Chains A and B, each alone.
Chain A
Amino acid sequence: MCEEADMEKNYYVCTGCGLLCDDIEVESEKNKINKVYTACRVGVAHMKEARNEATFLVDDKPVDEATAVSKAVAILKNAKNPLIFGLGNSSNETQKTAIELAKKINATLDDTSSFCLGPLAEALIQDKLKTCTLDDVRNKADVLIYWGTDPSDSHPRHLSKHSYFPRGREKQRGWEEERTAIAIDVRKSHTAKICGNYFFQIPPKGDAEFIDALIAGISGKLPKTSYNYPPKKILELANILKGAKFGVIFVGRGLTDSLENLEPLFRLMKILNEKANFHLMPMVRSYNTMGFNENLFAETGYVNSVKFENGDVKHGPEYSIVESLKAKTVDAALIIGSDPLLILPRSIAKNMLDIPVISMDHCETMTSKHAKVHINTAISGVESGGSAIRMDGVKVNFEPAIETKHPSDEVILKKIMEAL
């Protein structure tokens, strides 16, 4: 008997994306990770992320913690309407602290979901759509639709660990015989290539019409599109979907950005569940965006884009980061684990250059370069522990893999709260 097999192994959670893979092994020395096993390309890079030496910067000059915190406090105190943004790469505990801070300073609070998959997350939290867990997918799913999403690039172990390739409890014959993978997209992504003949390429903005045509096909009518998609192919797809015993639609921004609203998707899910059994899962990217949506919903009844005002909470797109920056309604920003100057259109993000910014991140970012105060925090999930909500709503606890001298974002937020 192999002795090693009896040894208890330490598995870590990768916080590189919303999958929160919990089977990661690392080799470390002197609090530096040298090797990462099991993780994907992005996961390995995330676990081994390089970092800066300086922990606290004010106006690009190294300072001590007290100076950085007091400068951050001064910026927030002087602001009439500060924005707190980010938190998709923070633990539940940090997110809850940030919500408390936002209440205390009457801040506008938002995360990336306001311009990504927030409306879908909200519908799921409110039980308006049928969903399932990734474990259900692995064990039961027979028909998988990747719509406007390319997990092979965005969630690299999605197909191998959960959705397509594994031998699940009720799917022992695996992808060769028991699963059908379908991609609907405007380009032949890596995932679409895996789907082979079940790749349905549609023109940009063609999704709503394709949904209508698919619904017609499922209802036994002739599917028509203005771009003349072959009706025979749509009918073939409709038949596969009707036969699904446990179907799942994985929805990416390729689909949601193409729709005016989610109504066509609701209609599709309704008919799919009349004829078969279908679930929907948004392909949330950051490791704890779902957590942010759930934590804020529990506190306010909204998943993003809120403004606190003396105990009241206002909500609407005008309180999203995009509209707040566009209308210049916010006069300072605390950015936690995000890089709006990198991820937002420059035409909008440029307005952030006109206000004082406090940046908390574990690396130098385009945003931190413009920040008045930059606090180099621990890498959440690698150097600090906590809990998070996986993209399918499952809570996952995680321990740090190495120790660090850098403070966690939660610790810094608490110090800011105390100093206020």
Chain B
Amino acid sequence: MDFGSFLATPEINVKVITYRDIFQDKAMLENRFGEEYRDLSAVIKLDPADLKQLNVKKGETVILKNSFGRVVVKAEESGYETPHRGIAYMPKSPWSNMLISDETGGTGVPKFKDISVTVTSAKGEKVTELMS
């Protein structure tokens, strides 16, 4: 039997940094329920070494999970020259919003920029549909 089948699916922890993207904003204005907005939003950009550790190729889907939610999004390479293992980037969208804590300490300000998730291969599972 192949040794690999005894290994659990590789899992890594990353901190997610959200950002605004002009192409995604334009797609939202045109149709926030459309494919283009989904394709530009439901994405996580990872360090190539993290992708390798996950055994995930760019363009494949991954599961992002924490105690607040679970979403399936497409994994991409970040394209940044500087290595950034453990840090990943997502355009801010309903998909990243699924992973944000409801804990605000009574301040009225959610921790939009403080997201920690575990990432695993989604093994072909489709990108999460925009909940309606």
Contacts and interface: CB of A to CB of B under 8 A. Distances in A.
Interface of A: 16, 40-42, 44-46, 49-50, 114-115, 150, 152-154, 156, 186-189, 201, 204-205, 253-254, 257-258, 305, 317-318, 320-323, 326, 339, 341-349, 363-366, 369-370
B15 interface: yes
A284 B107 CA distance: 20
Given A41-B26, A323-B104, 6 more contacts: A150-B20, A189-B19, A317-B107, A342-B94, A348-B104, A364-B32
Contact of A322 (B20, B80, B104): B104
Contact of A42 (B22, B94, B102): B22
Q: Which of B15, B33, B109 has the most CB of A within 10 A?
A: B109
Interface string B24-50: 011001111100000000000000000
A257 B112 contact: yes
Interface in B1-33: 15, 17, 19-23, 25-26, 29-33
A346 B94 contact: yes
Chain B interface SS verdict (over half): loop
Interface residues of B, number: 40
Nearest to A114: B108
Contacts of A205: 114
A44 B25 CA distance: 11
Given A253-B112, A257-B109, A366 B20 contact: no
Contacts of B87: 204
Given A45-B29, A204-B15, A305 B100 contact: no
B35 to A, nearest CB: 15
B37 to A, nearest CB: 10
A341 B132 CA distance: 9
Contacts of B21: 153
Given A41-B23, A187-B19, A369 B132 contact: yes
A320 B105 CA distance: 13
Contacts, number: 122
A204 B17 contact: yes
Nearest to B94: A342
Interface in B73-132: 80, 82, 87, 89, 93-94, 97-98, 100-102, 104, 106-114, 130-132
B108 A347 contact: no
B89 A49 contact: no
Nearest to B80: A188
Contacts of B59: none
Nearest to A320: B108
B113 A343 contact: no
15 contacts: A45-B26, A45-B30, A150-B20, A153-B21, A154-B20, A188-B80, A188-B82, A204-B114, A322-B110, A342-B93, A342-B97, A345-B101, A346-B100, A347-B100, A369-B132
A46 B104 CA distance: 33
Nearest to B111: A257
A186 to B, nearest CB: 6
B77 to A, nearest CB: 14
Contacts of A339: 32
A201 B84 CA distance: 12
Contact of B30 (A50, A323, A326): A50
A49 B101 contact: no
B19 A49 contact: no
Given A189-B19, A365-B32, A344 B110 contact: yes
A370 B87 CA distance: 35
Contact of A345 (B15, B22, B32, B97): B97
Contact of B106 (A201, A257, A323, A341): A323
Nearest to A346: B98
B26 A42 contact: yes
Given A115-B109, A201-B82, A204-B87, A153 B19 contact: yes
A186 B17 contact: yes
Nearest to A17: B25
Contacts of A326: 102, 104
A323 B110 CA distance: 10
A355 to B, nearest CB: 17
B81 to A, nearest CB: 8
A317 B108 contact: yes
